[in-house]
Amino acid sequence: MKITIIGTGYVGLVAGTCFADFGMDVTCIDNNTQKIESLKRGIIPIYEPGLEELVNKNYNAGTLKFSTDTSHLNEADILIIAVGTPAGKDGNADLSSIYSVINDIIAHVKTNKFILIKSTVPIGTAAILRQTLQDKCKNLKFDIISNPEFLRQGSAVRDFLEPDRIIIGSQSKDAKEIACKLYGPLILKDIPILFTDNNSAEIIKYAANTYLAMRVAFINEISDISEKLAGDIDDIAHGLGLDKRISKHFLHPSPGYGGSCFPKDTLALSKVASEANANCLIINAVIESNIQRKLRMAEKIIDTFNGNIRGKQISILGLTFKAETNDLRDSASIDIINELIKHGARIKAYDPKGMSEARKIFGTKIEYCKDSYDAASNCEALCILTEWAEFKTLELDKLNALMLNPTIIDLRNIFSPNEIMKAGFNYISLGRTDIIMDNECRNYQKLKVS
């Protein structure tokens, strides 16, 4: 099967590479010439475990090609749209890239086509695109298939190859048949495939991200309750997750969810819901709770210094919105760092993969460090904002010796209070009681730093 994917970002590149690995003939198109030239030279524009090897394997085998030339659109049996749909100024998804692809299709496509939409698009988009194409290309038949993608950054290849389900929204039998061919290798592995209409498929995507975002916002609120009432959030999340109806996933407290999907998709769902006069009280509460969460986390750091961080050297470990990605889009680190700077702190930071993206965001406002120890040196508090594995194995004695004041503010709960206690740190984490040393560094009290 000949596939052309338009949009070679996270979703397009991973999907294209995996379809090529299934043995299909794939061309990935993007209007970013630099990106396409880099990919041809084996340079992957994003950090994603396992992707580079798979891209190069299939590119060298000739099943995966890269191009900026939209005339390839006519050659394919199936066109897959995977361009970005970022949040527009009004909170609605910005569909300009989708419409630009539709214009390319109108200009170049001369035969009937299946068009599969992987981009996250507002409910009703497939129907609008179908109508637009019908109006503009009266002699051609276009089957529009809504096929939302559920892969996560950091585990994208595995998620694509082992999804929980495949969702196919369409109107025709032919569309179902081609979708079954496309996903044949996964259907053979017993991955469930659900056929539905286009609108429902589009709603499933938004509802899935919003539900997961809601779980994160919920556990963050439970974490605050636990902290105020001397509970232990790890035990609480474990106790909740053992209930099969709840499950253990997405119950890890954090400084707030971020990334290119949850913030934009919750907002877009709220927008379309309000426009349709549908109730969306929970969705709006999730959005608001997460905005406040990030500011509350900055306050938590400031509280550690009794409300005054002017001139204090604060170090940040982890800038990306989660581990195993170089992406900082809507990362909690952005709001937290900006708030700390506003209150007069001096910020040093280190992230294993996110430094070059961080430079684009923070510019000269912060100091960039070569590793965690460099960041810790002479700081008065070390804040962990992303759960990178390498932070969990830091040599705590070495860290302690480098810091002016041995205080760790762990906003991902990567350490256990016991190990931190043994290493002589003040330790502030989420949803647990703070551990603070006495002046002789012999005893610990459950107090705030004074």
Binding site for ligand UGA (CB under 6 A): 120, 149-153, 209, 212, 216, 250-252, 254, 257-259, 261-262, 321-322
- Mention every residue, 6+ apart, whose C-beta is less than 8 A from residue 243: none
SS3 for 27?
strand
CA atoms 71, 72, 76, 81: torsion sign: negative
CB of 213 to ligand UGA, least distance (A): 7
- Catalytic positions are 261
Least distance CB 159 / ligand UGA (angstroms): 7
Q: Nearest approach, Cβ of 150 to ligand UGA (angstroms)?
A: 4
Distance, in Å, from the CA atom of 387 to the CA atom of 34, rounded to the nearest integer, reads: 31
How many C-beta neighbours within 10 Å does residue 187 have?
A: 15
For ligand UGA, which is the closer residue by CB, 220 or 372?
220
Q: Would you say 123 and 203 are in contact if contact means Cβ atoms under 8 Å apart? A: yes
Q: Which is nearer to ligand UGA, 153 or 313 (CB)?
A: 153
Rounded to a whole number of angstroms, the minimum distance from the CB of residue 446 to ligand UGA is: 25
Instruction: Please say which residue, 125 or 254, places its beta carbon nearer to ligand UGA.
Output: 254
The distance of closest approach from Cβ of residue 258 to ligand UGA in the complex, given in angstroms and rounded to an integer, is 4
Q: Which of residues 165 and 365 has its CB atom nearest to ligand UGA in the complex?
A: 165
Q: What SS3 state is found at 115?
A: strand
* φ, ψ at 372 (rounded to 5°): -65, -35
Select the residue whose beta carbon is closest to ligand UGA and give its number: 254
How do beta strands 313-317 and 193-196 pair?
unpaired
Residue 281 phi, psi dihedral angles, 5° rounding:
-65, -45
Tell me whether residue 338 or residue 400 sits nearer to ligand UGA (CB atom).
Answer: 338
CB of 212 to ligand UGA, least distance (A): 5
Structure tokens at 79: 């066109």
Q: Which long-range contacts (CB under 8 A, 24 or more apart) does 329-332 make?
A: 329/258, 329/259, 329/260, 330/258, 330/259, 330/260, 330/262, 330/263, 330/264, 331/258, 331/259, 331/385, 331/386, 332/254, 332/255, 332/256, 332/257, 332/258, 332/293, 332/294, 332/297, 332/385, 332/411
- Of 46 and 127, the one with the shorter C-beta distance to ligand UGA is 46
User: Which neighbouring-strand residues pair with 169?
Assistant: 146, 196
